[in-house]
Amino acid sequence: MNKKEMMNNFEKHRPIYHFSSKKGWINDPNGLIYHGGYFHLFYQHYPEGVVHGPMHWGHARSKQLIDWEELPIALYPDEKGTIFSGCIVYDQENTSGLGKETAPLVAVFTQNQEKNGLTRQYQSLAYSTDGGMTFEKYAGNPVLDLGLSDFRDPKVFWYPEKKRWIMLAAVLDSIFIFSSKNLREWKKESIYYTGDLEKNEIWECPDLCLFKTREGIQKWVLIVSQNTLDYKKTGVRYFVGKFDGKKFYEENSEEVLWLDFGRDNYAAATFAGIEGRIVQVGWMNCWAYAQKLPEQGFRGSMTIPRELYLLQTPMGLRLGQMPVEEVKEYLNVYRLSEGTLEMDILLGAFLIDIHNGKGKICLSNKKERFMIDIDFDKQYIVVDRSKCGENLGKEFTETKNRNFHISRQRQILLIIDTTSVEIFTAGGEVAGSFQYFSKYPFQTIKVQGGTL
Burial 156-174 (b: 16+ CB within 10 A, else e): bbbbeeeebbbbbbbbebb
E-assigned strands of 172-305? 174-180, 187-192, 201-212, 218-228, 234-243, 248-250, 257-258, 266-270, 278-283, 298-299
Cα gap 249→257, rounded to integer Å: 16
Cα gap 86→245, rounded to integer Å: 20
Q: List Cβ neighbours of 11 (8 Å cut-off, separation of 6 or more).
A: none
- Torsion region of 397: left, alpha or beta (phi above 0 gives left; psi -120 to 50 gives alpha): alpha
Cα gap 184→170, rounded to integer Å: 19
Alpha carbon of residue 175 to chain centroid: 18
For residue 142, cis peptide bond before it (omega within 30 degrees of 0):
yes
- Torsion region of 303: left, alpha or beta (phi above 0 gives left; psi -120 to 50 gives alpha): beta
Cα gap 310→212, rounded to integer Å: 6
**DSSP labels for 300-368?**
--BPPPEEEEEEEETTEEEEEEEE-GGGGGTS-EE--SSSEEE-SS--EEEEEE-TTSEEEEEEE-SS-
Beta bridge partners of 360: 373, 448
Element (H or E) spanning 423, and its range?
A: strand 420-425
Amino acid at 358: K
Per the CB < 8 A criterion, the answer to whether 88 and 175 are in contact is no
Is residue 28 annotated as part of the catalytic site, yes or no? yes
Pick the catalytic residue from 28, 91, 153, 353. 28
Q: List Cβ neighbours of 163 (8 Å cut-off, separation of 6 or more).
A: 181
Active site residues: 28
